[in-house]
Amino acid sequence: MKVVAIGGGLGAVQVMQGMQRHSSDLTGIIAVTDTGRSTGIVREFAQIPAPGDIRNALATLALKDEPLMTRLMQHRIVAPGDPNLDGMAFGNLFIAALTQMSDSFVRAIEQLSEFLDVQANIYPVTEENTHICAELVDGTIVEQELNVRQLDKAAIKRIFVQNPDATAYAPCLAALHEADLITIGPGSLFTTVIACLAFREITQAIRDSKATKVYICNTTTQPGQTDGYTLSDHVQQVISYLGIGVLDFVVLNASKPGEELMDLYAREQVNVLLPTTHEVHNILTMNVRPVLADVADTQSGKRALWQKQDTIRHNPELIANTLMDLMGERMVAEALD
């Protein structure tokens, strides 16, 4: 089974982690338009697409028996006297150096993947050093990912690629055409998931593919991006880029975290999203089938992340089991036809 996961260095990787037990043909199509934190600094001096999510994907999926190198990729340099280096992920510098040596961002990813023994294809959604922009509901245009997700601005109306001539990386399109299963998300709705769907060749390849197409919805809202959003609002946004009738399923987490954990997130304006009868009905009207399943990691507790807001992540094994159930159901239906 050929599986393609679209998203960022966390959500898409959670899917691939879980699906490793079920498939040896995995491809991750990863957003490379981030500009925040150490990724933004590396992009500025090296003039490359964003390496952060690529780095995280490779380090997380590495199969090396010796974990030193994978830990090194994720290590953040401590340099209090240098704001450019302090908190810098070493792996971002490593990718930048490999890119300069090979004169190719894609070749650098391939070399690092071989070095870490990653048994999956990790592709950037584009080879081009471009950015995402957003049109807000008040008509304002904001440029670059850090500004797209900033707090206390008008709601996001749509996302588009800054350079209209930027194209998707060709192997991504081939993988989508050949896929048996395409997953979209989870991850930051606008700056990760739709940052990939904003490339028209990607959405067209998804439409053309005969694969089963599944959107894995986020477990919470995200300040600066989806304040006040419902589950059906997330689904509607994804469909607005893909078109009606493209998605087959939407996976909605049905496991409720403890009240204490929900309160901790709520204090940071992060609200847990749980399916209701009304929300399920709304999603059904969009010509896509909602699937309610216990797929969230509700046991790990709230994490303290470096310059990043935590959310409730998906459990790789649980999400993979749900996906396999859907694929099995689809195969039975096709056999009966």
- Per-residue tokens: 235: 């689904």
Q: Domain coordinates of the chain in residue numbers?
A: 2-31+165-336, 33-124
Determine the average pLDDT of the residues in 197-204.
Answer: 98
Q: How far apart are CA 115 and CA 62, in angstroms?
A: 9
- DSSP 8-state code for residue 133: E
Give pLDDT tens digits for 22-78: 999 999 999 999 998 789 999 999 999 999 999 999 999 998 666 888 899 999 999
Q: 3-class SS at 40?
A: helix
Kindly give the pairing relationship between strand 132-136 and strand 156-161. Answer: antiparallel
Determine the average pLDDT of the residues in 235-240.
Answer: 98
**pLDDT greater at residue 151 or residue 65:** 151
Q: How far apart are CA 54 and CA 152, in angstroms?
A: 29
Host H or E run for residue 11: helix 11-19
Give pLDDT tens digits for 81-121: 998 899 999 999 999 999 999 999 999 999 999 999 999 99
Give pLDDT tens digits for 239-264: 999 999 999 999 999 998 888 878 88
Q: Which amino acid is at 118?
A: V
Residue 277 confidence (pLDDT) above 90: yes
Q: How far apart are CA 193 and CA 290, in angstroms?
A: 19
Give pLDDT tens digits for 210-226: 999 999 999 999 999 99
- Per-residue tokens: 255: 């496991």
pLDDT value at residue 65: 63
pLDDT value at residue 263: 84
Q: Which residues contact 320 (CB under 8 A, 6 or more apart)?
A: 15, 17, 18, 19, 21, 22
pLDDT value at residue 301: 58
Of the listed ranges 8-17, 60-69, 165-174, the least confidently predicted one is 60-69
Pick the CATH number of 2-31+165-336 from 3.90.550.10, 3.40.50.1100, 3.40.1280.10, 3.40.50.10680: 3.40.50.10680
Q: How far apart are CA 61 and CA 57, in angstroms?
A: 6
CA neighbor of 71 nearest in space, from 55, 87, 85: 55
Q: Which amino acid is at 242?
A: L
**pLDDT greater at residue 311 or residue 164:** 164
Q: How far apart are CA 75 and CA 224, in angstroms?
A: 27
pLDDT value at residue 336: 81
pLDDT value at residue 101: 97
Give pLDDT tens digits for 278-301: 999 999 999 999 999 999 987 765
Long-range contacts of 284-287 (CB under 8 A, 24+ apart): 286/232, 286/235, 286/236, 286/239, 286/244, 287/244, 287/245
